[in-house]
Amino acid sequence: MPSDHALTATGLEKRFGHKLAVAGVDLAVPRGCIYGVLGPNGAGKTTTLRLLLGIIDPDAGERNVLGASRPREVSDRIGYLPEERGLYPSMKAREAIAFMGALRGLDWAEARRRGVEMLEAAGLGTAAGEKIRALSKGMAQLVQLLGSMVHRPELLVLDEPFSGLDPVNQEKLEALILAERDRGATILFSTHVMAHAQRLCERIAIIAGGKRRFEGTVDEARALLPMRAHLVPRSGNGDTRSFLPADAVALGDGFEFEVPPEGIEPVLARLIETGHGVAGLSIERPGLHEAFVKLVREGEAEA
Ligand SMILES: Nc1ncnc2c1ncn2[C@@H]1O[C@H](COP(=O)(O)OP(=O)(O)OP(=O)(O)O)[C@@H](O)[C@H]1O
């Protein structure tokens, strides 16, 4: 495995009965990168992560994680937040974190000290002595997340880490992920919420129907779609639309449409020549959300 990758996978396949959950996925996650595995419900994200971690074995394909072809051999160097959350309800938050650290080989006293420190740094200091059963679901999820980081893993794998968190805690989680990356860790997380991926990920893979539909940067995904223009004519007499591209739709006090392949200039020239004028114009690249929807729909149509 090239040493600049924390993780590679080629041709991963997993079948459950008649269902081909993962149908030949390739991944290459550079070291020190925040990498998003994106996909709709049932796409195969969780199964892919579980294959990469060695929780389940593939029917076909190869994995290499932190230099090991058997991921379980390096599990002490990995942190994992599974999709099914769960901590012992009668443990106090700081003990729950320490316990997760101890499971990964960390000395108990050190794990407990780090647990308290991490809770305080995350603004959850008051929860340190609370039992898990007394915490809200979101708070318990953050405690579990801190537990997955307490042994300072080289690779952090987070399955839908944002689900179930309110916007304030989602921001906290984004900050924690960035801090882990700055520490030097590689972070691989799954999500179907594009906003987090757009803000955090240096690279993404979009999976749908068990297949990888895209791999690259967020900007490369967004560039799959044409720019969109929002144009406000100066004089709004009724026939403005006939001088605009055919897909133009009325929006607010103007129109929205895809910037045509020949550019926006001929549209502006037509409006000026015909006396409609231009009072406002903004041109934007569609977001990751739109690129995701396009790729997933194409995948569905192909299937
Ligand atoms: N243990 C299992 N037994 C049978 N089928 C399974 C099992 N695990 C997953 N599947 C099926 O494999 C497909 C992929 O599931 P997976 O959980 O990997 O998707 P996902 O992308 O994580 O979905 P979600 O976003 O809804 O969590 C689904 O059709 C699911 O029903």
Looking at domain 5-222, which CATH architecture does it have?
3-Layer(aba) Sandwich (3.40)
CA of 47 to the centre of ligand 1 (A): 6
Question: Is residue 203 within 6 Å of ligand 1 at its C-beta?
Answer: no
Q: What is the pLDDT of residues 63-98, one digit of tens each?
A: 999 999 999 999 999 999 998 888 889 999 999 999
| Domains in the chain: boundaries | 5-222, 228-284
At 229, phi and psi to the nearest 5? -110, 140
**Exposure of 169 in the CB half-sphere (CA atoms within 13 A):** 17
Average pLDDT over residues 130-155: 94
What pLDDT is stored for residue 16 in this prediction?
A: 95
DSSP letter assigned to residue 143: H
pLDDT above 90 covers a percentage of the chain that reads 81
Closest C-alpha to 204, from 301, 284, 287: 287
What pLDDT is stored for residue 86 in this prediction?
A: 84
Whether residue 232 contacts residue 267, with contact meaning beta carbons closer than 8 Å, is answered with no
CA of 190 to the centre of ligand 1 (A): 13
Question: Is residue 47 within 6 Å of ligand 1 at its C-beta?
Answer: yes
What pLDDT is stored for residue 1 in this prediction?
A: 44
Least confident of 1-10, 114-123, 129-138, 206-215: 1-10
Q: Whose CA is nearest to atom 4 of ligand 1?
A: 16
Identify which of 41, 47, 56, 211 to mutate to test ligand 1's pocket (most ligand atoms within 8 A of the CB): 47
Question: Is residue 21 within 6 Å of ligand 1 at its C-beta?
Answer: yes
In angstroms, rounded to a whole number, what is the distance separating the alpha carbons of residues 183 and 163? 24
In angstroms, rounded to a whole number, what is the distance separating the alpha carbons of residues 101 and 87? 13
Is the pLDDT at 104 greater than 80, yes or no?
A: yes
What pLDDT is stored for residue 253 in this prediction?
A: 87
Q: Whose CA is nearest to atom 11 of ligand 1?
A: 21
Please report which confidence band the pLDDT of residue 239 belongs to, taking 50, 70 and 90 as the band edges. Answer: confident
DSSP letter assigned to residue 233: -
In angstroms, rounded to a whole number, what is the distance separating the alpha carbons of residues 157 and 139? 19
Pairing of strands 203-208, 34-38: parallel
CA of 43 to the centre of ligand 1 (A): 7
Q: Whose CA is nearest to atom 28 of ligand 1?
A: 42
Q: What is the pLDDT of residues 258-268, one digit of tens each?
A: 999 999 999 99
Q: What is the pLDDT of residues 268-289, one digit of tens each?
A: 999 999 888 999 999 999 999 9
Question: Is residue 67 within 6 Å of ligand 1 at its C-beta?
Answer: no
Is the pLDDT at 240 greater than 90, yes or no?
A: no
Average pLDDT over residues 171-197: 94
Question: Is residue 44 within 6 Å of ligand 1 at its C-beta?
Answer: yes
CA distances from 152 to 36, 101, 103 (A): 20, 9, 13
Is the pLDDT at 178 greater than 90, yes or no?
A: yes
What pLDDT is stored for residue 2 in this prediction?
A: 47
Question: Is residue 45 within 6 Å of ligand 1 at its C-beta?
Answer: yes
CA of 189 to the centre of ligand 1 (A): 16
Average pLDDT over residues 146-170: 94
CA of 22 to the centre of ligand 1 (A): 9
Instruction: Give, for 155, the enclosing helix (H) or strand (E).
Output: strand 155-159
What pLDDT is stored for residue 3 in this prediction?
A: 67
In angstroms, rounded to a whole number, what is the distance separating the alpha carbons of residues 262 and 111? 61
Whether residue 33 contacts residue 7, with contact meaning beta carbons closer than 8 Å, is answered with no
Check residues 242 and 8 and name the one with the higher pLDDT: 8
Average model confidence (pLDDT) across the chain:
92
Whether residue 147 contacts residue 37, with contact meaning beta carbons closer than 8 Å, is answered with no
Whether residue 45 contacts residue 90, with contact meaning beta carbons closer than 8 Å, is answered with no
Question: Is residue 46 within 6 Å of ligand 1 at its C-beta?
Answer: yes
- Please spell the DSSP secondary structure of 236-290, one letter per residue: --TTGGGGS-TT-EEETTEEEEEPPTT-SHHHHHHHHHTT---SEEEEE---HHH
Q: What is the pTM of this model?
A: 0.88
Question: Is residue 193 within 6 Å of ligand 1 at its C-beta?
Answer: no
Q: What is the pLDDT of residues 198-221, one digit of tens each?
A: 999 999 999 998 899 999 999 999
